Amino acid sequence: LCRGTGTAVLGVNLGHVGFLAEADVEDLHEIASRVIAGDLEVEERLTVDVVVSVGGEVIAHNWALNEATVEKASRERMLEAVVEIDGRPVSRWGCDGVVCATPTGSTAYNFSAGGPIVWPEVSALLMVPISAHALFARPLVVSPDSTLAIEIVGETTTGIVWCD
């Protein structure tokens, strides 16, 4: 709701690990008082723009703060994903999905999928296969200006895109 408005967001840690969460629940009263008093520091965070196309036609456009993930739509099949960075083919993975994460999202789904934790001030994007059935499926760290593409190939399965 706040994207594009210039309004700052205060993250409250309700879990275990997280770069977005600057406050713990037990400190919330003190932190809220500091915010009201103007005693705060605002950090800019990298986001990703997401475009989904089928047959060359754009069918969805969204954005994500943590990650955009392409996952298999049915649990009994693997996705066959061809991944590209900046228009160059990188690999083909039989997998459950692929996570494309920001540094903020590096402690979210990326972390659970085996990707690296990246400090929020580092300008980078992450691409991590989920449960890949391949010997050489490793997490990738690329420029924040890169275009990451995931093409689902084959007729036996479909994918779904999640933006968080």
- Percentage of the chain lying above the pLDDT 70 cut: 96
Q: Which of 50, 44, 54 is nearest to 20 (CA)?
A: 44
User: Which residue type, as a one-letter code, is found at position 160?
Assistant: I
Q: When comparing pLDDT for 62 and 41, which is higher?
A: 62
pLDDT band with cut points at 50, 70 and 90 for residue 112: very high
Mean pLDDT score, 99-106: 95
pLDDT at 26: 84
Q: What is the DSSP letter of 25?
A: G
Task: Return the domain boundaries, the chain.
Answer: 1-44, 48-163
Q: How far apart are CA 127 and CA 109, in angstroms?
A: 11
- Residue 15: pLDDT above 90? no
- The class of domain 48-163 in CATH terms is mainly beta
What is the pTM (predicted TM-score) of this model? 0.88
